[in-house]
Amino acid sequence: MSLGCKEAFIYRVKVLNLPKHEMSSIKKLFDTLDLHKFKKAPKWDYAYLNFETEEAAKAAMMKIDGREFKKRVLVTEYTKVSEESFRTRFETKKKKESEQEEKEDLRTPAEMLADQVTPLYKLAYEEQVAKKHKSGIRYLNSLRKKLNTLPDLNDAARDQIAWTNDRENNEYEILDPIHSPIIKEYRTKCEFTIGKDLNGERTVGFLLGQYRDGITSVLDPNECLHVSEKAKEIAKKMKEYIRDSEYEVYDRVSKTGVWRSIMTKTQTTGDIMILIQLRTTELSDQQLTQEKERIINYWNGLKQTINTTTLLLQTWDGDSNGITDKGHTEILIGDGYVYEKLLGCRFRISSSAFFQVNTPATELLYSKCAEWCNINKEKKTTLLDLCCGTGTIGITMAKSVDKVIGIEMIPEAIVDAKANAKINNITNAYYYANKVEDKIDIVANERNEEVVAVLDPPRNGVHSSVIRAVRESSQIKKVIFISCDAKQAMQNFIGPTSNRFKGLPFKPSRAVSIDLFPHTEHLLALLLSVFSIEAQDNSTAIEYNVIALLNQTVFKSMAVVVDNVSYPLESNTTFPIIYSAKAPAAQTGYQYAKVYSSNDSMLIESFTRQPVTENTPHEFFNRSWNTHDNVQLPQIYSMLSSVNRISSDLHKDNQIPTIHIIGNQTELDEMNTNSTADITVKTNVTYISLTDAFNFEKVKVSVSGHSSRSRSKLSYKLKLKKKHSLYGYRYIKLRAMSMDSSYIREQIAYDIIKSVGLISTEYSFARVFMNDQELGLFGLIEHFKNPWLANVFANGSSSYDNGYLYQGVFQGSSNQSLTSDLSYYENVTLYADGEYKMRQKATGGSKTNFEPLQAFTKFIDEAPTNTSDAVSTWKVELDTDSYLRSAALEILLGNTDGYFSMANNYYLYQNPETDGFLWIPCDMDLSMGTHANSVSDMWSGNYSTFPNIYERPLMKKIIAVPEFKETFEGYIKNITAQLINPNITYPRINSIVNMIRQDVEWDQTCTRVHSESDSSSMMGGGGAAMSNNSTMPSNNTTMSMNQTMPQQGNSTIQGGGGNPSSEESVSWEDAVNGTTTSSSISVKLWLQAIYQNTTNFYSQS
């Protein structure tokens, strides 16, 4: 270059964490970002973009950095090189590559495979570890350099990363690497390809190279250093099996054949899992069934040498290779789990669950992690286990901390985590299936508490939103970061505060490399970070949070009044109906207020909240309580043995969450106006409880119910997207309670159903908004749609193979003479006429298959009643306890819309384990005082007078079996004495009434979205509409809400006939409490009367 000429530069951006191939999709990505020239080789997990100016390079980095692509988080690196040196390096590299291509490959096949799967095997183990350790040090040094040369930083930002300038006095310590205790046969999980070897023979092992490089030959794993002997033996036996098979191995080129892959998990406990993957396109159903039987017999026959704990079969007909969660996995032997021991804890491992493959080295990793947490015994300590997977880290440390909170976005992993906590008797661990950024503030409500976060992200990196959430959390002062590829995230952790990362940065304190994968180039880096600068002194400030929906034409903002001083609250950008701000902790009390648009005056809560010293939960405007101490009903019968219900936070008995439905107003208006039509609107839904806040996109909302569709307050169904759930449930219903002036009938009915051990939905309350309108107080129930069956019968397992679920819905659509009373019809098509609905088809079954229901009704028609085997015969076809308890409740709760009265509102579930049916009651709003029948017939105490009881085939037949009649009457007497008894039910009712009192008052002021009047219903009495002028209950009424059971002696309480006038408006007081002289039949009056009359009837009979 001649003197005086300006040197030319190339401004280069390196894009990291790309998939190694996927060239066409990567090109599309860059094209959408208007970046059309890039360089990337197929095997690279990075790409280069070259620019002529620094501004253009940095603009590209802004577009790419943090973007999620193919489930990977992209990051960028920037370099500036002279054009001359760049071209020199390029030509030198090209020359070397050309020379290497000319060399003849003299390696044996075993050496080729070893270079593929254990590339460091030729080095002594000490040299391997030293090489990996140097790689980690180089990265930390490059990170320091990169931070130190960041352009355009202000003085405050420079101060935050000042530690990068002091090279001689390192502020962080790099420890000696930790060796794996075992260096051979350490892998507990292996995934083998089924293919053909170099001689064209069928075999099981590893590909000799990358398939995308044209390599399809497979070599057995016999000489692989990292594969266990047991896994090698399994591969050998599988090879023998497929060589005898009539079916061909899968050909990746022609995409034909059957046998694809096999995965082994050979745990140190001795447990063995084998998962075989095959392609079914070329197999008939009969051939597949026969092959399953052969596989089972084959592996059962090897128990002397390979004692398989669980055997699974995965069918996968897609193009991608390897075991996948997209395939259908079926358990052939065992329960689908193996178990591993780790630091004295026992862990359940499913086929899809991630678990470290080197158990002894993992114990060193977790022990070091626990050591670096530096648990302060003088403070409460919460371990925040981020990206927790199946809970291994938190569970191994749970006994050393006060609380473990695990957050993981994969619901199946959370199911495993909860199961593992239960297995190890860990009661202080709480697990949530959420994104980290949506749940991390769960720890923000405790003061004088030390929070240590452990972040163990998946291999594809940690999203920048997670890092942002950790940095912005005022509670987290210490993070332990575990990663196989730390460079993908560490810069964002330790970089200075910016527009993108507003929280204070962390700085490295200690770093160590732990070798979990001997003979490979992989290591696991463990880094401890702490705040680099002290947080602002907020010791006297707390965060106030309130839920409110503002009428923008009246109010402009929210405020909190603390000790008579007002502080503005800001709407949350993610959850706009949450208003928050920091303000001093109150000395005398605080109130929330709505600020008027016109004159800045405020509508202040009518009560003063007690002072708190911690951040408030999500409080609700104008509610004087956050949680309510409710009385519970006793559990008088154990849950049915077939039930294995998930632990879910969906129903919060002591609080009322808020649901905000946000959608196109025109579409919502059309749905509400045409409420009898089946109109579905796609919306976004926000769910907020005291501690949780979730947003769900593309939620399908529709009007729910039958006769209630004509009322002014409508009920709704919500359907979440696939893979989305609210505490494990995709389908929920919001019950308007428009048929129930008491607001509590279904709550108490479902409480009683649960207390007698029956299956049904659970029930709780929710406050509901729709766009800018307050809809009021609703009941929240589960909809009987999957994953409901898996949640109830299989603890939420995604691999549960459910049976058929039928619903009785009263009357057919074309033949009005047919009802769902369980009469037998020879023509099976009559069952699908409309009186029965197929609510869930069996796994692998048909949506139109009513034959199991027909067979059951035929059994009822022909069932024995007085033979010696009558009881045992019935119990094969029906869980008789599920029906007899339900029948007893139908009478004791006075259900006028159930099986007896209307041949309606029940489900029959065919249990796949027994093929017998279970009875599931539902829809309890027309009970305990809402009657279309003569009350004297219903609460007489003599069940034989209950309307239609002997008209229904099932009841008529089963009650004719003496043993069942005795059981049924025993249920009536026991439930009456131990549950219906007002001394037991009234305290529960009183506590619920006191909890919802302010919300009922609010509900009555809400404008209804439907023009029809509630009073148009046929139902009166307890179900008649509340007028806007109806009287709210108070403790000064003649019969207070907290009344005890009136003394009736031994007399029988008499009821009137028929229902009261449908034009009558009934106050909440009368609907709940009522009197015997009122035309309204109250909940308490019903319970008192049925208890008294039933007790008298059986004492006199």
486 closest CA partner among 16, 1005, 11, 1088: 16
Question: Which of the residues 190, 387, 388, 484 is marked catalytic?
Answer: 484
DSSP string, 603-652: EE-SS-BPP-SS----EETT-S-SS---------SPPPTT-------S--
660 closest CA partner among 609, 701, 710, 616: 701
* Torsion on CA atoms 160, 164, 167, 171, rounded to nearest 10: 50
3-class SS of residue 972: helix
Strands (E), 255-372: 259-266, 272-278, 310-315, 328-333, 338-342, 345-349
Tokens of 256: 């034909």
How far apart are alpha carbons 403 and 170 in whole angstroms? 34
Contact present, 1079 and 927 (Cβ < 8 Å): no
3-class SS of residue 199: coil
Contact present, 1027 and 1062 (Cβ < 8 Å): no
Q: Which residues pair with 207 in a beta bridge?
A: 218
C-alpha distances out from residue 374 to 176, 345, 478, 630, 1058, Å:
20, 21, 10, 39, 72
How far apart are alpha carbons 37 and 688 in whole angstroms? 46
C-alpha distances out from residue 565 to 411, 570, 603, Å:
45, 17, 14
Query: At 963, phi and psi to the nearest 5?
Result: -65, -40
695 contacts: CB under 8 Å, gap ≥ 6:
438, 574, 575, 684, 685, 686
How far apart are alpha carbons 166 and 154 in whole angstroms? 19
How far apart are alpha carbons 823 and 861 in whole angstroms? 7
User: Does a cis peptide bond (omega within 30 degrees of 0) precede residue 912?
Assistant: no
358 closest CA partner among 185, 223, 177: 185
How far apart are alpha carbons 361 and 1074 in whole angstroms? 69
670 is in an annotated binding site: no
How far apart are alpha carbons 382 and 453 in whole angstroms? 8
| CA angle, 598 then 601 then 602, to 5° | 120
Q: Which residues pair with 919 in a beta bridge?
A: 908
Query: At 183, phi and psi to the nearest 5?
Result: -120, -5
Contact present, 277 and 323 (Cβ < 8 Å): yes
816 is in an annotated binding site: no
648 closest CA partner among 733, 744, 756, 725: 725
Query: At residue 83, what is the residue type?
Result: E
Query: At 560, phi and psi to the nearest 5?
Result: -120, 135
Paired sense of beta strands 272-278 and 310-315, if any: parallel
Q: Count the helices and strands in the chain (H runs, E runs).
A: 27, 40
408 is in an annotated binding site: yes
Tokens of 846: 């048909």
1081 closest CA partner among 906, 930, 936, 894: 930
CB atoms within 10 A of CB 328: 14
Strands (E), 882-963: 904-910, 917-921
> Which 8-state DSSP code applies to residue 827?
S
Length of the chain measured in residues: 1101
How far apart are alpha carbons 952 and 861 in whole angstroms? 11
Question: Is residue 484 annotated as a catalytic residue, yes or no?
Answer: yes
How far apart are alpha carbons 651 and 239 in whole angstroms? 51
* Residue numbering of the annotated binding site for S-adenosyl-L-methionine: 356, 408, 456
* Residue numbering of the annotated binding site: 356, 408, 456
Q: Please list the active-site residues.
A: 484
